[in-house]
Amino acid sequence: MQADTLSGGFADPAIQSAHAFRSVMEAMARPGTLQDIAGATPPAPLSNAAGAVLLTLCDTETPIYLAGDVDCDAVRAWIAFHTGAPITGPATCMFALGTWQALMPLSVYPIGTAQYPDRSATLVVETPDLTQTGATLTGPGIKTSASLSLPDDAAFQANHVHFPLGLDFIFTSGDRLAALPRTTEVQ
């Protein structure tokens, strides 16, 4: 096993996973806000934020789909060692990870069912930059409106139409993240 497979996890798992979980939950509860997240140093091409999200939310019962460049031996080995999460295809994943283009088309991911809307996928989208500019967001957790740089406004508008079904999104860049739950309207 290579040294970089064994390294890059939380040095103090109890404390760092709690801080990372708080960052993810704050981002989901307040769409459009940018949250700092730290503690992980995954192999390239994963950002530190994406690594921390995986370490916090994934375990042996959380199927992950890796799309595009992130589907490489180094990332697979790192995920296997640190989370034990099984790697699967897009139709059966709970989390999908990659760039926006690599994750396309969105129609291949589970959006839940009427009986179990929670059985949908969360897409962790690696982005070069996150800014609070661009699309206007409204909905739960947003006082009046918020803004977030999104890769394709129409895709998020179409996703919201399925509510209470639909996909949830976590955007990662460097040591920061933002989230767009299915409850958020994009204008």
Q: Which of 157, 156, 149, 152 is nearest to 178 (CA)?
A: 149
**Is residue 178 a contact partner of residue 50, using CB atoms and an 8 Å limit?**
no
CA Rg, the chain, in Å?
Answer: 16
Give the per-residue pLDDT at 65: 98
Q: Which pLDDT tens digits describe the chain residue by residue (187 residues)?
A: 465 677 888 999 999 999 999 999 999 999 999 999 999 999 999 999 999 999 999 999 999 999 999 999 999 999 999 999 999 999 999 999 999 999 999 999 999 999 999 999 999 999 999 999 999 999 999 999 999 999 999 999 999 999 999 999 999 999 999 999 999 999 9
Polymer length of the chain: 187
Give the per-residue pLDDT at 137: 98
Greatest distance between any 2 Cα atoms in the chain: 51
CATH number of the domain located at residue range(s) 3-182 in this protein: 3.40.50.11310
CA separation, residue 29 to residues 16, 77, 167, 170, 178 (Å)? 20, 32, 15, 12, 10
